[in-house]
Amino acid sequence: MDGEVGDSSLQSGDWRSQFQAAARERMRHLPYSGHEGLQEVRKIYERSKENIYTAATRRIKKEKKEKETRPKYALFMQVEYYFSDENLRTDKFLLKYLTKDEEGYVPVAVIASFKKMKKLTHHKSFIVAALKEYSLLVIII
């Protein structure tokens, strides 16, 4: 059997013999033994370490961005719904504000006062930031 204590390849110093056949095949280009082999293994280790660090860093940044984006996106989707045809057919409160202003503007304070918006945030500045980032709505401060 490969890799057993009495195996002649282990006794001869071929470090690759400790791996399964498929792994050994991928490592066939590496030096057999000695200083050159050790240096090559160290290089592979360093590259792997760098790749793992880079991948982990990217993943952390992506997850952080997703966490930051989700609340803004949820907020945006809620505001989009408020101004949708479906909602405006029955939302007399919001229609009152839309018709009150000559250009149809609704104060952010009004939007922030809605129950679902209060569940998402208590900060008007967050609402403004989310709408600036996502929305086709015009935001006037």
Residue 3 lies in a domain: no
Say which CATH number the domain at 49 has: 1.10.10.10
Residue 127 lies in a domain: yes
Q: Tell me which residue has tokens 């609340």.
A: 71
What pLDDT, on a 0 to 100 scale, did the predictor assign at position 12?
52
What pLDDT, on a 0 to 100 scale, did the predictor assign at position 54?
85
Stretches where the chain sits below pLDDT 50 are 1-11
Residue 25 lies in a domain: no
Cut 0.75: pTM above it: no
What pLDDT, on a 0 to 100 scale, did the predictor assign at position 117?
92
Domain tally, the chain: 1
pLDDT, one tens digit per residue, over 88-129 is 999 999 999 999 988 888 988 999 999 999 998 989 988 888
The domain in which residue 125 lies consists of: 31-134
Residue 23 lies in a domain: no
What pLDDT, on a 0 to 100 scale, did the predictor assign at position 118?
92
Residue 13 lies in a domain: no
Residue 11 lies in a domain: no
Residue 7 lies in a domain: no
Residue 125 lies in a domain: yes
Calculate ∠ Cα 28-34-38, nearest 5°.
Answer: 70
